[in-house]
Amino acid sequence: MWKFVLPFVALLATFSDGQTINKEVGSFQQFECDVNFPSTYLLNWMRGDEIVIRYLSANDAITATSANFTGRVSIIGAQRTLGITSLRITDAGQFFCSVHDLATVNDETNSARQTLFVYTRPTVTLPYSEYVVDAGGDVTFTCTVTSYPSSNVTWEHPDGTRSTGDVLRLRNATSQSQGQYRCSADNGFGTGMQYVNLVVRGGNISS
């Protein structure tokens, strides 16, 4: 299970300059360049200190693209909006446009910064849909969760009680241990769950 809860909190605290946008992995995002354009200019779309894509108005051409975004970024429309397709977790950061007036020296205008955070919803996997154990035996179920940021994992027992953590251990199984167990994962952006049915075989143990 990925463990990124604290780094995620720190990320939002660090990037407190402007609006935060949360988007799912694989989705599409646009950023508006909210500046006034001079007659001739050089436009840099930035992620922090990295140039994502560079546009030159004189010949209406893209002159450079970051290797991190090759094939996934474009300049859209008259307002030179940045479009990013197939978002990745590693795309996260602060985005802004920087417009350089080519008619003057060192004259540039930057747009407001927007922070992008890219997440995945939890995917839960269990090794069994049904498990058989002899009465008096021990059982260990491991719930494998893939998500970003990491998820809080909860097990719900057949009697309605709950326990936390991705591993569920049952000692000295009895007939009362039988039933359906549910593993749930929640990371604030979605919830995933899977079920396993426990069958206790043999014996006449009820407590």
Q: Report pLDDT for 107.
A: 77
Place of tokens 């008259």: 78
Q: Residue 30's domain spans which residues? A: 19-112
pLDDT number for residue 114: 96
Does residue 145 sit in the same domain as residue 106? no
Residue 106 is predicted with a pLDDT of 66
> In total, how many domains does the chain have?
2
Per-residue pLDDT at 207: 40
DSSP of 61-84: EEEEE-GGGTTTEEEETTTTEEEE
CA distance 127 to 31: 42
Do 145 and 90 share a structural domain? no
- Report if residue 85 sits inside a domain: yes
Q: What is the pTM of this model?
A: 0.82
CA nearest to 8, candidates 146, 147, 195: 147
Is residue 143 domain-shared with residue 181, that is, in the same domain? yes
Q: 145, 153 in Cβ contact below 8 A?
A: yes
Q: Which residues of the chain have pLDDT under 50?
A: 1-16, 205-207
In a domain, 11, yes or no: no
pLDDT at 104: 86
Per residue in 126-154, pLDDT (tens digit) is 999 999 999 999 999 999 999 999 999 99
Same domain (yes/no): 132, 161: yes
> Are 29 and 86 in a shared domain?
yes
Identify whether the C-beta of residue 88 lies closer than 8 Å to the C-beta of residue 81.
no
Q: For residues 108 and 129, state if they share a domain.
A: no
